[in-house]
Amino acid sequence: MLEKLKEIRERKGFTQEKIADFLKVNRSTYSGWEIGKDIIPLSKLNDLANFYHTSLDYLIGRSPTLEEVKQVQSISMTSVANHLKDVRKSHNLSQKKLADRITTSQPNIHKYENKKSLITTYYALEFCKQYDHSLDKLVGRNK
């Protein structure tokens, strides 16, 4: 899912150790994210986008261009909640129908839309794929 993590790291000349140190995780944890064994948390993905001065959409392979963008210190839970709700309503979907489309539960959608918890990377990627939506826009990163 996140094929660009290794590509951009190598292009910029960094080791896994250097990136892991920056993210304050073990190298093996970062390696698991890079090879797709585990899914990187959205907050860490945002940190990487800031580090590389690029978009989340580039890191997840939705944008072909490695473009310079301004840093966003943290993900906006309000933006996530609003975007999820707006897209769901624009498609005339119930929370249950949206949950089914992205393979989660209705209570999770309720939590995401009501700012009780931040959507996980996996479900955010599924949402973006299903609705051809920008991950940057979903989490409140403006290019």
Q: What is the CATH number of domain 77-139?
A: 1.10.260.40
Q: Hey, is 88 helix, strand or coil?
A: helix
Average pLDDT, integer, range 21-33 = 97
- The CA distance from 51 to 44, in Å, is 10
Inter-CA distances, 56 with 15, 75, 95, 114, Å: 20, 11, 25, 23
Is the per-residue pLDDT at 69 higher than 70? Answer: no
- The CA distance from 126 to 115, in Å, is 19
The closest of 37, 66, 64 to 48, measured between CA atoms, is 66
- The CA distance from 107 to 123, in Å, is 13
Q: Start-end ranges of CATH 1.10.260.40 in the chain?
A: 4-59, 77-139
pTM for this entry:
0.86
Is the per-residue pLDDT at 117 higher than 60? Answer: yes
> Using 50, 70 and 90 to split pLDDT, how confident is the model at 71?
low
Is the per-residue pLDDT at 95 higher than 90? Answer: yes
- Contact yes or no for 123/139 (Cβ under 8 A): no
Inter-CA distances, 13 with 71, 124, 126, Å: 20, 29, 30
The CATH number fitting domain 4-59, selected from 3.20.130.10, 3.30.565.10, 3.40.50.10490, 1.10.260.40: 1.10.260.40
Q: For residue 95, how many C-alpha atoms fall within 13 Å in the half-sphere facing its CB?
A: 12
